[in-house]
Amino acid sequence: MVKLIIFSISFMWLYLFPTYTEALTINADKIIHFSKEGKYEVVGNVVIEYEGAIIKTQKALVYEGSFDVVAEGKVIYEDSDTFINAMSANLNLKTKTGEIQGAVIFFKQGNYWIYSQRLQRLSEDRYFANSARFTTCNPTNIKNAKDYTYDKAVKDTYDWCFQGRDVDIVLGKNIDAKEVTYRVRDFPLLYSPKIWAAINNERSSGFLMPLVGNSSEKGLRFAPYFFWAIDEDKDMTFGLDYYSKRGLGKSLQYRYIHPDSKGVFNMYHLRDKVLQDTQFQVSAQQEYNKGAFREFIDINYVKSIDMYKDYAYINQERNQRLLQSSIEAGYSFTNSRLYLLGQYWIDLKQKDKEIPQVLPSVGYYLNPTKIGPFLFEMESTISNFYRQSGLKSQRFDLMPKFSHSFGNEVQISQSLALRETVYNFQNNDESLKNHRESLRYTVEAKSRFIKRYEGYEHIIEPSINYQYIPKNNTVPVFDYTESINNISEANLSFLNLFRFTDKLIAVRLTQPYSIKNVDDGYRLGLMTFEGAYLTKPFVVRVESAYDFNERQIETFYTDVVLSLSEKTNLVFGERFSRDNSIFQYRTSIDTVLTNRWGLSANLWFDAKGGGLRDSNLRIKYMEQCWAINLSITRRPRFNDQSHDYSILALVELKGIGSIGKK
């Protein structure tokens, strides 16, 4: 074995001394030097090392001036980012450029494989091939990349790959190609005259993998999306949403994020050929914070109030009663805040034109300020209430509040708030009072007892409070300000808590009692029960309200979470409300069955006669280089005559951020 070290010499002209800056090391069985040509011929077990890059071959020519290497036979090249197995290679170790024949290239970061008969390395991170295959799937039955030659690669069958010509690859960024076929197990499934694909996990422009599904109500669904990475801080997604029975939907999403602000805008449009109606939705959210100034925007609009019923796949969206939009801007001073607020509601159950809209409201809030033994705070608002039909008004509301607390073992807190409200009614009769004066007095006494035992502690917190608001003038209700009236009520509350090292048990009982005379003669209000049991594999929360006067439960809510393992959670919930005629059960499971299979399921059941309502099953299957997400959903129709069954499938190609035209 012969070893040769070749130095690259540069001169520091200021001192005219040579400096040895780079070294190329060659190990081989035989080294022949051709001084006139300035080259070395190396034969047998050749290992060439230069700045972290290693070339292994059986025969090569090394040019000492340019650091060009011409290698023949089986050639192995490896550096920190790349592994190349080739039939032959002509490389420049300084510029990391050259030409490779019969190449299998493996990019270590991201697990990317490229196969090409002839490939050019244009720079350290850029490659070009007249024809090539690209995938993130590991070779079949090959454990070491050095054993995977080009001859084996062209005969191999991959779970998926892209094959095209004029393939331009920028390592860590993207791949650009023409006349591309997407092949599954070597079967050509899709064709595109040109694609551009991101080959990292960062945001890059291109087509996203489409949603494919079918619905018994809407028919076949095909939803492709194009993602446009406008800049590092903003992007846009365009989408088509085709339903064979309903029509073609169009969607747009724009997002941005700045150091002091962020926002998202969504728009969806579809002309439903069955309902003969236009489905149109717009939503926009924005947050802006700059010093003491804060702005928040949340806009939601639908043209048809039935859009969520027909097209929303989330149960909470389909069953929401009101759609709210809000705009708020505020400026915080040292001890106070000035704000502007606008709110708009759309009734999704019926076209109610009498909902009061806040357009707008200006408010000023003074934070609690110490004045002697008291705390003083104040809130004032000027609001304009608009209705499409019905009573409109402007309102001025002022509420100063004093509070005071004292005591140690027994803490006593009390507060007195005075309220003055003035109205400017429009299109009303003269019987309405245009002002209202009120006050609210509250007092609370509470204490805490702690007893510590070995392994746990026992905490008891009893409290009693009283609230008084006198009867005031009857005025139309615009918001919560008018709804609080004529209250004289005491509340007795008792908290019992056990805290262990690995669990917590808590129970709270609260019983209200009306001091004032009531029309029905019942002074006892609804007794509420709140309970929680928190431990590592098991969590239970219960809330209930009991009417002693009618001797019946009015509300009962339960949530049970059981962690069967680190990868499996089971949830059970119950919702009962007598006034709202609700009695529902909900259960869900989320589990990872194996390293390839994952499953989650959700089910809602209406015990008031509706029977099985929403149910959803999600299955995920993962392979080394791809995954498929399958969602099966059953949605009840609101006319209770038939149900909608739908299935959606989304394929993930690992390592591919987006695919599409550049």
441, two tokens? 């007095």
- pLDDT score of 20 more than 70: no
In the 8-state DSSP scheme, what is residue 145? G
Flag whether pLDDT at 290 surpasses 70.
Answer: yes
Cβ–Cβ < 8 Å for 56, 39: no
- pLDDT above 70 for 202: no
Average pLDDT over residues 410-421: 95
User: What pTM was computed for the model?
Assistant: 0.76
For 413-419, the CB contacts below 8 A with 24+ separation are 413/443, 413/444, 414/441, 414/442, 414/443, 414/444, 415/440, 415/441, 415/442, 415/443, 416/440, 416/441, 417/441
Torsions phi, psi for 26 (to 5 deg): -125, 130
Q: What are phi and psi of 195, to 5 degrees?
A: -135, 160
| Alpha-carbon gap, residue 559 to 576, rounded angstroms | 12
**Is the model's pLDDT at 478 over the cut of 60?**
yes
pLDDT above 90 (res 251): yes
Contact residues for 3 (Cβ-Cβ < 8 A; gap 6+)? 25, 26, 27
Q: Which two tokens stand for residue 488?
A: 């004289």
Tens-place pLDDT, residues 168-178: 988 777 788 89
End-to-end CA distance of the chain: 52
96: its two tokens: 């990391």
- Nearest partner of 115 among 95, 131, 96, 126, judged by Cα: 131
Q: Which of 247, 190, 253 has its CA nearest to residue 221? A: 247
For residues 427 and 471, give the distance between their C-alpha atoms in angstroms, rounded to a whole number: 26
Sequence-distant contacts of 429-434: CB under 8 A, at least 24 apart: 432/475, 432/476, 433/473, 433/474, 433/475
pLDDT digits (tens, 9 = 90+) for 645-661: 899 998 888 877 544 43
How many C-beta atoms surround the C-beta of residue 112 within 10 A?
A: 21
Residue of higher predicted confidence among 299 and 207: 299
Distances 614 to 11, 316, 429, 562, 608 between C-alpha atoms, Å: 78, 10, 48, 22, 15
Whether the pLDDT of residue 13 is over 70: the answer is: no
| pLDDT single digits (tens) 301-320 | 999 888 887 777 666 677 77
Q: What is the pLDDT confidence band of residue 505, given thresholds at 50, 70 and 90? A: very high
Say if residues 643 and 635 touch (Cβ distance below 8 Å). Answer: yes
pLDDT in tens, 347-373: 887 766 678 899 999 999 999 999 999
Chain segment 362-401, per-residue pLDDT in tens: 999 999 999 999 999 999 999 999 988 888 899 999 999 9
Predicted confidence band of residue 16 (pLDDT cuts 50, 70, 90):
very low
The pLDDT value given to residue 155: 86
pLDDT for position 460: 97
Single-letter amino acid code for the residue at 434: N
Give φ, ψ of 408 to 5 degrees: -115, -75
pLDDT of residue 484: 80
User: By C-alpha distance, which of 487, 489, 490, 491 is closest to 470?
Assistant: 487
Residue 10 above 50 pLDDT? no
